[in-house]
Chains A and B, each alone.
Chain A
Amino acid sequence: MRHSIRDRLLRLCSHSYPRAVRERDGEAIVDLAGELADAGSSPLREAAGLVLGGASVRLRGTIGGLAAAPWQEARARVALPLAAALFALAAVWAGRSGLAQAWVGWSIALTLAAAALALAGAAAGHRWLAASGAVVLTGMLGVDALRDHYGHGSRFHAEVGSALFDVLVMWIPAGVLMLVCAGAVRRVAPEAGIRRLVSGLLPGAALLVVSSEPTRVVIADRIVLFGGFAVAAVLVALAIARRRTDPVLPLVAALLVAAVAGPALWILAAYLPPPESGAPPLALAYFAGGGLVAGASILLLARLSRRAQV
């Protein structure tokens, strides 16, 4: 390989290092790689070494940045709205199942009670209460997934287009996230706790009433689901726009994206042609895809938050 081409290749590969490292040490690294190539090392091996070395420095920086981000504060902020959303979900399920007319059974009652417990814990800043509620709630969502898996069918479906979705299964990641956030809530004064609890209960209570009377008020599932995703998208945009004044906001947005990424992909996939029979369970595929989206958004938004802090 000609020297000029080799040097250009090494310089190009040195771009795998973050800019700050390149500006400080880039020349020395490229010169050393050139010197080793002169001494008999393969230029391609040196080029690969630079790419891997740069990627490793970036990875270390990313992990360090993620660890240093103010996650505690972000989790504390997400806990109450997330608990309110999960309570609303349980309320809609109970309402649709006819809570206003008759006893709906232990599983629905337990889910509603667990969601209320998580909400009360998040509102009062009581970690054990919030975590206990989140564990039972997520467990009940998991039980519904198992029911579906063993052929008994999910007990709460939403209709979007021509497809039916297992709503409870969709929100398992949100339940897990609630558990993660429960560990960060902080105690508040009793008056503030009551105010927070009432504000968290209101949306769920309203939805409970609306969903209990399907003959009077009909809201298409599509509107509710897409409305929810639109709210999440607006929050992300707001977080990006206001990151300078509030660097925790991008992390809050990242956690919300992590909660809705799986369901969002699941619903968007309804508009794709149905898979062949024998395909792997779709829920798993959507959660895996959602996990990737969630991971990417956490990385990107945490980076924005860190830059805003600097």
Chain B
Amino acid sequence: MREPTYFILAALTEGPLHGYAIVHEAESLSEGRVRLTAGTLYGALERLATEGLVEPDREELVSGRRRRYFRLTGAGETALAEEAERLRSSAEAVHDRLSALRRLRAKGVSA
């Protein structure tokens, strides 16, 4: 799963969100790494909807602007959980290696 997709799905765990809120949440969750444009967000939502990971919720008109809400589906939640677990386990493996390396270095320095 690509990073923008991951953070779009993660943003929707808050509940149904409109495009602007998804962009804002994804940017905030990724600490500024994922900055989506309307075009990329729409493309990603279309693809995720086709794959059954998100679905349209409702549409509202706010200050003359059309806002379309999307929500996470059960399949989307499962896919997100699996990806989060994969990332967690990958990070943990690297973290363990780094800890071991640092312990070795610390021993070398003390010897």
Contacts and interface: CB of A to CB of B under 8 A. Distances in A.
Q: State whether these chains interact.
A: yes
Interface residues on A, range: 20 to 34
A29 B37 CA distance: 10
Interface string B39-72: 1111100100000000000010000011110000
Contacts of A52: 39-40
Given A27-B66, A57-B46, A32 B19 contact: yes
Contacts of B39: 29, 33, 46, 48-54
B37 A41 contact: yes
Given A50-B39, A53-B43, A31 B67 contact: yes
Contact of B23 (A28, A31, A36): A36
Contacts of A246: none
Nearest to B24: A39
Contacts of A148: none
A25 B59 CA distance: 11
B55 to A, nearest CB: 15
A31 B65 contact: yes
A49 B65 contact: no
A300 B19 CA distance: 34
Interface string A49-65: 11111101100000000
A175 interface: no
Interface residues of B, number: 20
Given A27-B66, A53-B43, A56-B43, A33 B20 contact: no
B67 A28 contact: yes
Given A33-B38, A53-B37, A28 B43 contact: no
Given A28-B19, A31-B65, A33-B38, 15 more contacts: A25-B42, A25-B68, A28-B66, A29-B38, A31-B67, A32-B19, A32-B23, A32-B38, A32-B41, A35-B20, A35-B65, A49-B36, A53-B38, A53-B39, A53-B40
27 contacts: A25-B42, A25-B68, A28-B19, A28-B59, A28-B68, A29-B38, A31-B67, A32-B18, A32-B23, A32-B41, A33-B37, A33-B39, A36-B20, A36-B38, A39-B20, A41-B35, A41-B37, A46-B39, A48-B37, A49-B37, A50-B39, A51-B39, A53-B38, A53-B40, A56-B43, A57-B43, A57-B46
